[in-house]
Each structure stands twice: as structure tokens, then as C-alpha cells.
């Protein structure tokens, strides 16, 4: 009987007291604090403070010389000048929209098509995945130099093959489309990798059920697989929008965003680090670009959080 009575007493002694939470050891608490604090400080100092500083500078005029006290605060004058008397602004908006439409209509569907084909585990699929993904690991600046081998007026491959003398990077009538072709080389592999990873996670029973119902591969993809991959689709949409808005590297390498290649990112650089050195004006352009990006990012986050609540 003594042994029988001791067991419940030991269990009661081992059980935590109701109303008291088990506290982490001091070492674990310190680890958690460091893991939360360090990323938070990095985000504050590398993202939020520069962003808020740009917003503040957008309401003033400053050439970067002298103290902050020398800033001349002009209110919304920079924004008004951008919309009314700054000639490159509206062509830059137009070019960014063309960039957005081009990425949506050509390299994005092509990347999806490549992902669907390579998902079938065809012979040599690993080699093709590597070949199509290779441009993704390259910077856009390097891609601009690589495509110079095709676009050079005197020694470029395209002009040699077709016997033409087109300055693909210099002619304002064609240089935007030449740059977009170079961009699509990288963007296609990026979209392919994202969709390929999403296709690997699709339940095989969905394909089998569609096949039993008599659906061919095209109908199965558009009516079964694509709706299931809705989160991936949203991610791709946000990526395409951001890529089109932050277009900078390639156009800056080609001609610093001038002569038919005006984009918002290049205009920011021209005014901040260019010959003009107008920090307030360049900050206003950066704020406009940030606001446009924030609209699409907010829509994406709202959709994701709504899906999580439903789940």
C-alpha cells in the first residue's frame, strides 16, 4: 500500500503548479533576445531609417554638401516639378510599364512552360534545369556585357548573321526591346525554378483524378494544377512587378538610363549620384517608386494573410 500511495504523490510533485508558466533558462532567454534584436536592428538601420530619410529629403533641396541644417525645405515642390517640368519622368513610367507587360507576356509564360516540361522527368532534365537556371546566378550588369556580344554594331553576332549594321544598344527605337530580350534570358530561368518547385509539391492524386475524368494534360494544368498553385502565382506576380519597377542594372550599364532607356531607378541614380547631385529631387523619385511597389506588396500580403486565416 505504501508503494501505491507514493506514486500519485510523486506525480503530483512533478506536475507544474497551475497558473505558473515554465520559464526558459537564462541562457536560452539571452539567445532568443539576441536572435530577435539583431535582425530587428539590421532592418531598422538598413531599411526603415534610409526609407524614412528618403521621405524626409524628398521635401527639401540639398546637394549633399554642408550640414543637414543647409537643407532648404520646399514642401511638395519636388513632386510637382517631377510631374510637370521633368521631361524624362513620364517616358520612364511608360518604359517601366512596358517592362512589366513584357515580363508578364513573354518570359513568365515561357518559364512556366519550361517548368511543366521539365517536371515530367524527361531524359537530361537535370542538365536542362542547370542550363536554364545559369543566367539567374549572374548579375544583370554582367548579362548586359554578355549580350553585348550579340548586340555590338561592328562585331555582334546578330549583325554578322543578318548582315545588318544596327546599333542595338544605341538606337533609341530598338534599345529598350534589346534590353528586354536580355532581361528575359535571366527572368525565364527564375520563373522556371519557382514553378518547378511548386509543381513538385502538387499532390499526384489530383493528376490521377483528372486523368480518370478524361481531362488531357492542358485541361489538367489550367483547371486543376494552376488553381492549386495559387500562392506560387501570387509570388510570381509580386516578383514580376518588383522586377519591372527596380529595373536599373542593365539600363545603367548600357547608357545610364538615357536615350530611350529611361526608367525610374535610373532617374533616381542620375539625380543622387550623377552630375546634378540633387538629393531631394532624387529622393522624391525614389519615394514614388517605393509607393508604387508598396501597393502591390500590400495586396500580396493581404491575400496571403486572408488565405492563412481561411486555412
Number of domains in the chain: 1
* 252 part of a folded domain: yes
Q: 20-75 pLDDT, tens per residue?
A: 556 778 788 888 888 999 999 999 999 899 889 889 999 999 887 777 778 889 99
* 36 part of a folded domain: no
* 5 part of a folded domain: no
Contacts with 207 (C-beta within 8 Å, 6 or more apart), sequence order:
220, 224, 225
* 223 part of a folded domain: yes
* 141 part of a folded domain: yes
* 64 part of a folded domain: no
Structural domain for 154, as ranges = 70-310
For residue 186, give the CATH number of its domain.
1.10.3720.10
Q: Where would I find the H helices in the chain? A: 2-14, 26-43, 49-57, 77-84, 89-105, 107-118, 125-133, 140-151, 157-162, 175-200, 204-212, 217-220, 226-228, 230-245, 249-255, 264-272, 279-310
* 288 part of a folded domain: yes
* 237 part of a folded domain: yes
pTM of the model: 0.82
Q: 107-160 pLDDT, tens per residue?
A: 999 999 999 888 887 777 788 888 888 888 888 888 988 898 899 888 888 988
For 137-175, give the DSSP string.
Answer: GS-HHHHHHHHHHHH-TTT-HHHHHHT----TTT-TTTH
Amino acid at each position: 500500500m505504501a508503494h501505491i500511495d507514493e506514486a500519485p504523490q510523486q506525480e503530483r510533485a512533478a506536475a507544474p503548479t497551475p497558473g505558473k508558466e515554465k520559464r526558459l533558462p537564462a541562457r536560452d532567454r539571452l539567445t532568443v533576445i539576441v536572435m530577435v534584436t539583431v535582425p530587428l536592428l539590421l532592418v531598422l538601420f538598413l531599411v526603415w531609417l534610409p526609407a524614412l530619410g528618403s521621405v524626409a529629403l524628398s521635401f527639401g533641396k540639398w546637394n549633399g554638401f554642408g550640414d543637414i541644417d543647409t537643407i532648404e525645405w520646399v514642401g511638395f515642390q519636388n513632386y510637382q516639378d517631377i510631374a510637370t517640368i521633368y521631361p524624362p519622368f513620364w517616358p520612364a513610367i511608360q518604359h517601366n510599364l512596358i517592362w512589366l507587360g513584357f515580363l508578364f507576356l513573354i518570359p513568365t509564360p515561357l518559364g512556366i512552360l519550361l517548368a511543366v516540361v521539365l517536371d515530367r522527368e524527361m531524359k537530361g532534365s537535370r542538365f536542362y534545369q542547370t542550363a536554364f537556371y545559369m543566367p539567374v546566378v549572374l548579375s544583370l550588369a554582367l548579362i548586359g556585357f554578355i549580350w553585348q556580344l550579340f548586340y555590338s554594331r561592328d562585331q555582334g553576332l546578330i549583325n554578322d548573321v543578318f548582315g545588318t549594321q544596327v546599333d542595338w544598344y544605341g538606337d533609341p527605337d530598338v534599345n529598350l526591346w534589346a534590353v528586354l530580350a536580355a532581361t528575359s534570358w535571366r527572368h525565364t530561368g527564375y520563373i522556371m525554378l519557382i514553378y518547378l518547385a511548386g509543381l513538385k509539391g502538387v499532390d499526384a492524386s489530383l493528376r490521377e483524378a483528372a486523368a480518370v475524368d478524361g481531362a488531357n494534360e492542358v485541361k489538367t494544368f489550367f483547371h486543376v494544377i494552376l488553381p492549386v498553385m495559387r500562392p506560387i502565382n501570387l509570388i510570381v506576380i509580386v516578383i514580376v512587378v518588383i522586377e519591372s519597377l527596380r529595373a536599373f542594372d542593365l539600363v545603367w550599364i548600357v547608357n545610364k538610363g538615357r536615350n530611350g532607356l529611361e526608367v525610374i531607378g535610373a532617374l533616381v541614380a542620375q539625380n543622387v549620384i550623377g552630375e546634378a547631385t540633387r538629393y531631394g529631387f532624387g529622393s522624391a523619385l525614389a519615394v514614388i517608386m517605393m509607393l508604387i511597389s508598396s501597393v502591390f506588396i500590400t495586396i500580396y500580403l493581404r491575400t496571403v494573410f486572408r488565405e492563412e486565416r481561411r486555412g
